[in-house]
Structure 1
Amino acid sequence: MSDSGYGDFEFERRFVARDVPRELLDESPPTLIVQSYYLADDGYALRLRVQSSTARAVLDDRSDAVDVLDAHADAFDFCALTAKGPMVGGTRYEAERELDVSVGVEMVRRGGLRIVKNRHAVWLGADGWVIDVFGGANHPLVVAECERSGPVVDLQIPSFCVTEVTEDHRFANDALVHEPFARWAGAFERELESQGPRFLQGFGRNQALPGDQR
């Protein structure tokens, strides 16, 4: 639960990322995440996540979530069950309960729709960001996300964020388990080429990251 006065509501903005500097990713050893969705419908989701701060998994389009889970089962050091509501204007309900890791690993192994990714946590300008590098059927998707304890306004957006997908439900993890990125990546590229990048204008003033080149 957030201690910001907003209860279990969280605030974030998400972007498709390209050409993230390797040295930036190397600053933050990745957290390996395998998560399973037992409900994922119209933005409502019940998610079980296990993660490891020490496992090192190279993810590509052949990475299977269960195989990755089995290969690193002893390395997972955190598990949580989360109930999520739909994203509305950069705000989403998320109530989380930490669970026993061994129980969580077995539950992920036994069911649900699964996703696997490496998450890098970095500090950029005035904010902390997470950069998710997906494996399996969602490879080579990379999503950068900034989350705050209140509305994400006047954001400094790094140049590797090519377009904003905060309100594009296709890029939510609970949508990607049903329709993985590989199935519609070509259509998305054509859409981006014809319509150009989009950055939401209702969150104050979008700013370039100081020292960044667009």
Structure 2
Amino acid sequence: MSDGDFEFERKFFVPELPTAALREPHPALIVQSYFLAADGYALRIRLQGAAPAGTLPTWGDERELLEAAADTFTFCALTAKGPYVGGTRYEAERELDVTAGLAMVRLGGDLVAKLRYSLWLGADGWVVDSFLGRNEPLVVAECERGGPVTDLAIPDFCLSEVTDDPRFANDALATSPYSHWSADYGRELETDGPRFLTEFGTNQLGLPS
């Protein structure tokens, strides 16, 4: 993130975890607790660390996963976010002590858990988030830059753009998980087909991954 407390990103729905992500041997495990998520505004605590070896619980309550991974977190931050406006969102972040952050997350908030894979494709860095728990099997890819994400080469694993779809915001997924509306979204894709926003310049589709 740059340009003060703002982030610039575009987001895409991915049907399944791409091979390019699977080549990343050390994904990050992220658990986020949303203490406020309303009208595009959010207040969250994020815990992050290397994904532990072995099998993580990927169903049911994210709090089970939180406890299974409690000893692996090495980073924690408190973040305030504003609504998306044209691919831009206000975001102010402050790092927290991991022990204090974990204690607060244990006390409350709505959780989102995911594995994050970092890729470099073409001229851009990408992250691919594979969601766990109630949001499994949702996969979302994001490209973030220091300014507006224009004239983007979009990887071939991106099926449709969701930058402006509020359902795919993490704070929305915390309270209305993908498992509750995935069938409806699948029908939308079948009826309307993929979409890619055109207000960000020229899209180059099908970048090899």
Q: Does 1:46 align with 2:37?
A: no
Aligned-pair distance for 1:177? 1.1
Letter in 2 for 1:181: Y
Answer yes or no: is the 8 Å Cα contact 2:167–2:173 preserved in 1: yes
Computed over aligned residues only, the root mean square deviation of the Cα atoms, in angstroms, reads 1.6
Give the total of aligned pairs: 209
Answer yes or no: is the 8 Å Cα contact 2:10–2:163 preserved in 1: yes
Which residue number in structure 2 is paired with residue 84 of structure 1?
81
Which residue number in structure 1 is paired with residue 101 of structure 2?
104
TM-score using structure 1 length: 0.92
Alignment of 1:183-202 (within 5 A): 183-202=180-199
Q: 1:152 aligns with which of 144, 149, 154?
A: 149
- Is the deviation greater in 87-96 or in 15-24? 15-24
Q: Percent identity?
A: 59
Q: Does 1:74 align with 2:67?
A: no
Structure 1 residue runs without a partner (length 5+): none
Aligned-pair distance for 1:188? 0.4
Which residue number in structure 2 is paired with residue 114 of structure 1?
111
Q: 2:14 aligns with which of 17, 23, 30?
A: 17
Answer yes or no: is the 8 Å Cα contact 2:126–2:141 preserved in 1: yes
Aligned-pair distance for 1:72? 1.8
Report the secondary structure of 1:15's partner residue.
strand
Alpha-carbon distance change, 57 to 141 in structure 1, aligned in 2, over 3 angstroms: farther
Cα distance in structure 1, aligned partners of 2:36 and 2:54:
27
Aligned-pair distance for 1:66? 1.5
Which residue number in structure 2 is paired with residue 93 of structure 1?
90
Letter in 1 for 2:159: V
Answer yes or no: is the 8 Å Cα contact 2:131–2:138 preserved in 1: yes
Q: 2:131 aligns with which of 129, 134, 138?
A: 134
Cα distance in structure 2, aligned partners of 1:178 and 1:169:
12
Structure 2 residue runs without a partner (length 5+): none
Answer yes or no: is the 8 Å Cα contact 1:30–1:53 preserved in 2: yes
Cα distance in structure 1, aligned partners of 2:174 and 2:199:
29
Cα distance in structure 1, aligned partners of 2:151 and 2:57:
34
Aligned-pair distance for 1:28? 4.5
Cα distance in structure 2, aligned partners of 1:118 and 1:112:
19
Alignment of 1:159-174 (within 5 A): 159-174=156-171
